[in-house]
Amino acid sequence: MTEQRIATSKVAGSWAWFFQRLSAVLLVVLLTVHIYMDHYAEVGADITVGWVHERLGQVLYIAVDYAMLAMVIFHGLNGSRTILFDFDVFVKRKKLVDIGLWILGIATMVWGIFVLLPFIEG
């Protein structure tokens, strides 16, 4: 059983493994800033569309927000993939799962880009 699991995780690929770690480290930094700036720094203050719009006037904020979104989608979906295969779910349909997750991920990214646009445009 154990040997089989080790073999399975090898097939999952070192590419996915490496980017899961890289996105993890970057997300710890970016999410700390995001959660602090958006939820803690001015806790209790009146948050309005104007306030969000003003912040997003800085290109750095937009870049960080979109970078964070891309990494969170990758990390979350790749993590879900790991969980599925750990529990031997769809292991025989790996290619199909990968294609499905890429489509879901790209669709979510496009959706996320459009969600933020009205706040940027104001």
Partner 1 sequence: MNIGKFKWLFGKNSEFWPTNMKTGMWAWVGHRLTGIILVVYVFMHLSFLSTASVNDKSFANLMETTAQPAFVFADFLLVCAVIYHAMNGFRVILFDMGIGIRKQKLVFWIMMAISAVIVAVAFYVLFNEGLFKGEWF
Which positions lie near partner 1, rule CB under 8 A? 21, 24-25, 27-28, 31, 35, 39-40, 43-44, 46-49, 52, 72-73, 76-77, 79-80, 83, 86-87, 108, 111-112, 114-119
Nearer to partner 1, 45 or 59 (CB): 45
Q: Is 38 helix (H, G, I), strand (E, B) or coil?
A: helix
Nearer to partner 1, 3 or 44 (CB): 44
At 25, list the tokens: 């480290």
Min dist. Cβ of residue 42 to partner 1 (A): 10
Min dist. Cβ of residue 35 to partner 1 (A): 7
At 86, list the tokens: 């750990």
Give, for 36, the enclosing helix (H) or strand (E): none
Query: How far, in Å, CA of 36 to CA of 53, rounded?
Result: 18
Min dist. Cβ of residue 14 to partner 1 (A): 11
What number of other Cβ atoms are within 10 A of residue 4's Cβ? 8
